[in-house]
Amino acid sequence: MRFLGDPGLRAPCAEVTAFDADLALLIEDMYATMYAAHGVGLAANQIGVGLRVFVFDCPDDEDHRHLGHVVNPRLAEADGVTVRGPEGCLSLPGIEAGTPATTVR
């Protein structure tokens, strides 16, 4: 796990261009790391890999589970519904802050 101060957490991540066995292994590693840390989401740069990939496994407000991984995410549109709530980060252990989040399509 990379923590606050690691330059890799501030650097732009590269686009994934090879959808191959190495990418599958990376994603498996990310799930394992996220579960070991009792997290609900994890980005590749948090484990030192500067690629645009994240995994998630979290409930919504109605306790429905959402599990998946996203490669080369791009924010296309936000529908304007913004909620603010406490949010933490596995790379900043012990810190939590009120963070606005906007739902997206």
Ligand X SMILES: CSCC[C@H](NC=O)C(=O)O
| Binding region for ligand X (CB under 6 A) | 39-42, 46, 87-91
**Burial class of residue 11 in the structure, from the number of CB atoms within 10 Å of its CB (0-12 exposed, 13-18 middle, 19+ buried):** exposed
The least distance separating ligand X from the CB of residue 20, rounded to whole angstroms, comes to 25
What is the Cα–Cα distance from 2 to 66, expressed in whole angstroms? 25
Tokens 């394992």 correspond to 32
Question: What sign has the CA pseudo-torsion 17, 19, 25, 29?
Answer: positive
The least distance separating ligand X from the CB of residue 14, rounded to whole angstroms, comes to 19
The least distance separating ligand X from the CB of residue 41, rounded to whole angstroms, comes to 3
Residue whose Cβ sits closest to ligand X: 39
The least distance separating ligand X from the CB of residue 45, rounded to whole angstroms, comes to 10
